Structures are given as structure tokens and as C-alpha cells.
């Protein structure tokens, strides 16, 4: 456990090196993004001057505790940098996100970001996406119909729950976690899912990451760059 937390912090600290004075920063959500927010908070206390928007209530609360300047998203038209975690990353730097339940806000902010950094433990790097269940955020009304449609795509869908009640996102939506086990064509699946009425967004973040930083068990980091098209 300590090794895993340490590798996440290694990746987070390396990512925060890219944050400079005057930047508008997107703060991610989850166990790895937590370390990035902690490090940004430490550097703000040392004089780093930024403004930030968080991708979840949880991350925003942490940022407030660390006295990171948070501004309304309505005051932002783009982000200089966003640092966020991932549940899986493939060799094309396609990513599955949403295990922490913030995928919609993460994708909104990620899509408005000039330099998007994904940080993770090296074990999140895989040859093909799909072992981690793909989160799909859906509206409450008619979620059962969306569930059956997702099932027809060949996955095993499960409505996410918390304390025996449907889990609610910060946007007051449900999440259906879809176990595909293998996703050979992420773009096709992304488009199919998002065409289902009632789907708000899915956790496939495709061709969005500019940089991936992996924390490794030997105490080093590995940096993966977006391939030129």
C-alpha cells in the first residue's frame, strides 16, 4: 500500500513541476490527483501564484483547505494545464477515467485544457483498455433502458451504489460501470455509447492526454508523450 501511494506521489510531484506562476490550473479528482493537489498547495504556500478550478466537490474542498485560489468555472475560457489521474492508460495514451465518479466534470475541464497531464501508478499502463470497468454517467430518468442498451454491446453493466443506494455524481446523475474486459476499438465504443439517449458522458478519454507520467516502484518516473499525428 505504501509503495502504491508513493508511486502516485512521485508522478504527481513530477507533473506539478509543469505548473508555473500565472497559470490557470484544472485540479483532478481521485487518489492520485490528491497528491498533485497536495503538492500544488505546498507550492502555493511557498509563493506560487495560480488560479484553479476543481473537477469535483471533494477536490475543491481539499483545495480550499490548502488555500489554493479557486475561481468559478464561469470566469474561465481555457486552462493552461490540468493534472488528473487515470484508471487505465494504453500505449496510444487513451485513458479510462471515472472510478472516482467525476468523469463528466473531468472531461469538460480536460477538453478546455491546453496541456493535459495524466498521472498514475505504472500498473495503470496496459496494452489494451477494458480490464477496468468503463464508467458511464447517465440521467436518472430511464436509466434502466440505458442499462439494457449497454448490455446489448456485450458488457456486464452494474449500477454503481453507495451504502445500498444508487451512487450520485456531483451532477446528480447515476453511473453504470460496464465490464467489457477488452476494448479493441475505443473510438467506436465511445461514439456508440454517447449516441444512447440518457447517456451524459462516458469514461473514455481519447486523444486528450498530452503527457502521461507514471510513478514506478523503483522510485523513478516514466514520461510518455503524445504521438505526433
Residue pair 18/113 in contact (Cβ under 8 Å)? The answer is no
Instruction: Report angle CA 178, 182, 187 to the nearest 5 degrees.
Output: 80
3-state secondary structure of 178: strand
> Is residue 112 within 8 Å of 53, Cβ to Cβ?
no
Contact between 160 and 109 under an 8 Å Cβ cutoff? The reply is no
Helix H or strand E encompassing 159? strand 156-159
Separation of alpha carbons 19 and 12, rounded Å: 11
Do the Cβ atoms of 101 and 162 come closer than 8 Å? Answer: no
- Choosing from 106, 122, 137, 201, which is the catalytic residue? 106
Torsion of CA 31, 64, 114, 127, to 10 degrees: 0
Q: Residue 124 belongs to what H/E stretch? A: none
Q: Which letter does DSSP use for residue 56 in this model?
A: S
Concerning whether 106 is annotated as a catalytic residue, the answer is yes
C-alpha cell at 25: 490550473
Residues with catalytic roles: 106
Amino acid at each position: 500500500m505504501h509503495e502504491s501511494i508513493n508511486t502516485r506521489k512521485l508522478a504527481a510531484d513530477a507533473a506539478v513541476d509543469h505548473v508555473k506562476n500565472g497559470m490557470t490550473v484544472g485540479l483532478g479528482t481521485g487518489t492520485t490527483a490528491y497528491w498533485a493537489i497536495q503538492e500544488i498547495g505546498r507550492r502555493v504556500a511557498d509563493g506560487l501564484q495560480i488560479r484553479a478550478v476543481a473537477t469535483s466537490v471533494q477536490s475543491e474542498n481539499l483545495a480550499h483547505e490548502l488555500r489554493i485560489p479557486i475561481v468559478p468555472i464561469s470566469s474561465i475560457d481555457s486552462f493552461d494545464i490540468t493534472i488528473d489521474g487515470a484508471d487505465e492508460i494504453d500505449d496510444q495514451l487513451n485513458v479510462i477515467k471515472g472510478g472516482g465518479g467525476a468523469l463528466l466534470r473531468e472531461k469538460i475541464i480536460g477538453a478546455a485544457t491546453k496541456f493535459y497531464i495524466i498521472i498514475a501508478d505504472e500498473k495503470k499502463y496496459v496494452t489494451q483498455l477494458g480490464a477496468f470497468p468503463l464508467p458511464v454517467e447517465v440521467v436518472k430518468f430511464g436509466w434502466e433502458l440505458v442499462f439494457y442498451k449497454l448490455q446489448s454491446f456485450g458488457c456486464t453493466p452494474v449500477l454503481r451504489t453507495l451504502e445500498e443506494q444508487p451512487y450520485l455524481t456531483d451532477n446528480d446523475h447515476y453511473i453504470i460501470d460496464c465490464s467489457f474486459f477488452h476494448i479493441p476499438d475505443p473510438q467506436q465504443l465511445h461514439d456508440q455509447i454517447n449516441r444512447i439517449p440518457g447517456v451524459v458522458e462516458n469514461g473514455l478519454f481519447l486523444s486528450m492526454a498530452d503527457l502521461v507520467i507514471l510513478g514506478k516502484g523503483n522510485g523513478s518516473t516514466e514520461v510518455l508523450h503524445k504521438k505526433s499525428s
